[in-house]
Amino acid sequence: MSDQDSIFFRNFSILLAALVVLTIVLILFGISIQNNLVANVQGEADRSSIQKLIKPVAEVNTDPNAIVEVAPVAMAAAFDGSLDGQMIYDNVCMACHTTGAGGAPKLIAAEWETRIAQGDAAMLKNAIEGYTGEKGMMPAKGGRLDLTDEQVKVTVEFMLANLK
Ligand code: HEC
- Say what percent of the chain tops pLDDT 90: 67
The answer to whether residue 12 is domain-embedded is yes
Looking up residue 128, the CATH number of its domain turns out to be: 1.10.760.10
91, 136: one domain = yes
What confidence tens digit (pLDDT) does each residue in 11-43 have?
Answer: 999 999 999 999 999 999 999 999 888 777 666
pLDDT of 65 higher than 80: no
Substitution candidate for ligand 1 out of 79, 83, 97, 153 with most atoms within 8 A of CB: 97
Range of the domain at 37: 3-54
153, 97: one domain = yes
101, 146: one domain = yes
Q: What is the pLDDT of residue 37?
A: 82
Confidence of residue 52 (pLDDT cuts 50, 70, 90): confident
Any idea which of 44-58, 63-77, 86-100, 125-139 has the lowest mean pLDDT? 63-77
Q: Count of CB atoms within 10 A of residue 59's CB?
A: 7
Distance from residue 60's CA to the centre of ligand 1 (Å): 44
Cβ–Cβ under 8 Å, residues 81 and 154: no
9, 42: one domain = yes
- Kindly report the protein residue whose alpha carbon is nearest to atom 27 of ligand 1: 115
How many domains does the chain divide into?
2
In angstroms, what CA-CA distances link 65 with 59, 62, 68? 16, 9, 9
Please provide residue 135's backbone torsions phi and psi, each rounded to the nearest 5 degrees.
Answer: -85, -30
Pocket of ligand 1 (CB under 6 A): 92-93, 95-97, 101-105, 115, 122-123, 126-127, 133-139, 141-143, 152, 155-156
pLDDT of 44 higher than 60: no
Q: Count of CB atoms within 10 A of residue 93's CB?
A: 25
82, 30: one domain = no
Any idea which of 3-7, 92-96, 123-127 has the lowest mean pLDDT? 3-7
Q: What is the pLDDT of residue 84?
A: 95
Cα 43 versus chain centre, distance: 32
84, 152: one domain = yes
pLDDT of 144 higher than 90: yes
pTM confidence score: 0.64
Q: What is the pLDDT of residue 19?
A: 97
Confidence of residue 57 (pLDDT cuts 50, 70, 90): confident
Q: What is the pLDDT of residue 73?
A: 63
DSSP 88-102: HIIIIIHHHHTTTGG
In angstroms, what CA-CA distances link 63 with 33, 56, 70? 45, 18, 16
d(CA 3, CA 106): 102
pLDDT of 63 higher than 80: no
24, 90: one domain = no
